[in-house]
Amino acid sequence: MIFKYVALASIIGSGALAAPLTPIDGTYELTHRVLASGKVVRPPDVRAIYTMLRGRFSLNLFFKNAKGRQATEASIGRFTFTPTRYCEWIEVTARVNIDRPGVTNEKPVLKNHCAPVRRAGGKYSFVAPGENVTVTYSANGFAARIDNGDTDYWTKIAP
């Protein structure tokens, strides 16, 4: 019996069960949002943490929407990343006043879970599947440009 536990610990410790790290893996904190009008919104009016690690992600986002209502999203899912393609699948989500008023647990319905990745100057860019958001990752974080003209700036706080 002890041999089974030692063997399992050896496999886990070796990383054999874990997906490899990607250039976008890490934990990110939303530091500020620049609205299309030029107004800068900072915590506590906008707060978020986004962790992407070994093919899994978790997002917790809080802000006031255009109507001044508290909006939140909590999502957990899976992703794959290569220098040419990003794919994601939301497994569970809770959204309040994000896409529409009220609460929903409905996952976005997507025809395609993948998007092409562009690489330039050490940065990776793609349009998030099912979203109107273009994300650009660098070594220190990422920017998320929303089609409405707002841009969120995220700082990498952990590898």
pLDDT score for 18:
65
Q: What is the pLDDT of residues 101-150, one digit of tens each?
A: 999 999 888 889 999 999 999 999 999 998 889 999 999 999 999 999 99
pLDDT score for 19:
74
pLDDT score for 86:
98
Q: How confident is the model at residue 2 (pLDDT cuts 50, 70, 90)?
A: very low
Q: Which helix (H) or strand (E) segment is 2 a member of? A: helix 2-14
pLDDT score for 3:
41
Q: What is the pLDDT of residues 20-49, one digit of tens each?
A: 899 999 999 999 999 999 999 999 999 999
pLDDT score for 67:
84
pLDDT score for 11:
40
Q: Name the more confident of 26 and 13.
A: 26
Whose tokens are 């063997």? That residue is 7
Which domains occur in the chain, in start order? 19-158 (2.40.128)
pLDDT score for 65:
83
- DSSP letter for each residue of 94-124: EEESSSSSSEE-PPPP-S-SEEE-EEETTEE
Q: What is the pLDDT of residues 57-107, one digit of tens each?
A: 999 999 988 788 899 999 999 999 999 999 999 999 999 998 789 999 998
What Cα–Cα distance (Å) separates residue 132 from each residue in 19, 70, 129, 139, 146? 28, 21, 8, 23, 6
Q: What is the mean pLDDT of residues 11-17?
A: 46
